[in-house]
């Protein structure tokens, strides 16, 4: 699959600006919960988030006590959204417009969070280049946490998944470089259902592990998503059974 350019994500940003994606159930009660448990206390630490989009996870990371937080995204419109949030409620977060592959070294961070950034590599070579950029921006002993679409998910994670607010479809054959289509489904009380979809690149678990380890990361671990107790209390355990059996996401952790 060919890599998507900034214009593609600028168009998606128009939908982000009006959709409350932060509150779709799988993001609110799984992604945020899992990420914060993996990250832990960030007091006094420096954090770089790649593919920060509208800054949702960047703000979450800053709320964990980080002393410095930088968000980077390819799309000028996405970064404009993030800066709009920052202007409305200043947190001291710095946002930059840049392609991960062209980012270079902008600091020596304690933690780099890749928010699905690896899925915008066109192939394994680009995947490795991204992982090397991440490695170069970490201080010795620094950590990577990469949020990814789960390579082991159902190729058609659609029927039954709409209630979680996110669906995924992988073109056949499901191999490195296949098109992965992600759709957010937003249902607000008193409003019609709204959707936004976009394409990115599917990679196997083997490709992810190869890219991260070849870039120099050690003690690489894959973590399954968890569900927040508040989500179970609100919807019930049975509601989450499908996405727990067939997780939409996976979290990769590694150290420099």
The domain that contains 55 carries what CATH number? 3.40.50.150
Q: What is the pLDDT of residues 145-189, one digit of tens each?
A: 999 999 999 999 999 999 999 999 999 998 999 999 999 998 766
Residue 61 within a domain: yes
Q: Which pLDDT belongs to residue 126?
A: 97
Rounded to the nearest integer, the mean pLDDT of the chain is 93
Q: How many CA atoms lie within 13 A of 96 on its CB side?
A: 15
**Residue the block writes with tokens 């832990």:** 40
CA distances from 36 to 18, 146, 158, 208 (A): 26, 13, 27, 22
Q: What is the pLDDT of residue 8?
A: 66
Give the pLDDT confidence score for residue 23 in this predicted structure.
85
Asked if residue 192 is part of any domain, the answer here is no
Distances (CA, A) of 90 to 10, 78, 82, 85, 87: 24, 17, 11, 8, 5
Cα–Cα distance, 26 to 203 (Å, whole number) = 21
Q: Which domain holds residue 250?
A: 6-152+204-255
Between 7-16, 46-55, 64-73, 241-250, the lowest mean confidence (pLDDT) is in 7-16
Q: What is the pLDDT of residue 22?
A: 80
Higher pLDDT, 16 or 44: 44
Which of 7-21, 22-36, 106-120, 137-151 is the least confident region?
Answer: 7-21
At residue 196 the predicted structure's pLDDT band, cuts being 50, 70 and 90, is confident
What is the greatest pairwise CA distance in the chain? 51
**pLDDT for 188:** 67
> Is 211 a domain residue?
yes
User: Has residue 66 been placed in a domain?
Assistant: yes
Q: Is residue 184 assigned to a domain?
A: no
Band (pLDDT 50/70/90 cuts) for residue 44 is very high
**Separation of alpha carbons 137 and 72, rounded Å:** 13
Distance CA 63, CA 130 (A): 26
Residues of the chain with pLDDT > 90, as a percent, come to: 85
Edge-to-edge strand ranges of the sheet holding 179-186: 156-157, 166-170, 179-186, 194-201
Q: What pTM does this model have? A: 0.92
Distance CA 232, CA 200 (A): 30
Provide the sign of the torsion angle of the four alpha carbons 32, 115, 97, 63, taken in this order: positive
Residue 163 is assigned to a structural domain of this protein: no
Residue 174 counted as domain residue: no
Does the structure show a pLDDT above 70 at 18? no
* Residue 169 lies inside a defined structural domain of this protein: no
The count of domains in the chain is: 1
8 or 118: which carries more pLDDT confidence? Answer: 118
């Amino acid at each position: 699959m060919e890599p998507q350019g900034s214009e593609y994500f600028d168009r998606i940003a128009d939908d982000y600006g009006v959709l409350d994606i932060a509150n779709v159930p799988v993001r609110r009660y799984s992604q945020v919960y899992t990420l914060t448990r993996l990250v832990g206390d960030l007091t006094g630490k420096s954090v770089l988030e790649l593919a920060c989009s509208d800054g949702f996870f960047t703000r979450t990371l800053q709320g964990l006590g980080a002393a410095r937080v930088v968000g980077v995204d390819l799309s000028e419109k996405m970064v404009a959204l993030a800066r709009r949030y920052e202007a409305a409620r200043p947190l001291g977060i710095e946002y930059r417009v840049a392609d991960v592959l062209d980012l270079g070294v902008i600091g020596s961070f304690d933690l780099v969070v890749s928010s699905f950034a690896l899925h915008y590599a066109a192939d394994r070579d680009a995947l490795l280049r991204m992982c090397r950029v991440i490695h170069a921006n970490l201080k010795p002993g620094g950590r990577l946490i990469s949020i990814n679409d789960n390579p082991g998910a159902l190729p058609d994670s659609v029927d039954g998944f709409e209630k979680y607010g996110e669906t995924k479809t992988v073109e056949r054959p499901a191999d490195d470089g296949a098109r992965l289509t992600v759709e957010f489904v937003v249902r607000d009380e008193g409003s019609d259902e709204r959707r936004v979809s976009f394409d990115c690149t599917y990679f196997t678990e083997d490709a992810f592990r190869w890219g991260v380890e070849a870039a120099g990361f050690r003690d690489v671990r894959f973590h399954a998503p968890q569900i927040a107790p508040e989500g179970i209390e609100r919807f019930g355990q049975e509601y989450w059974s499908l996405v727990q059996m067939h997780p939409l996401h996976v979290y990769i952790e590694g150290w420099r």
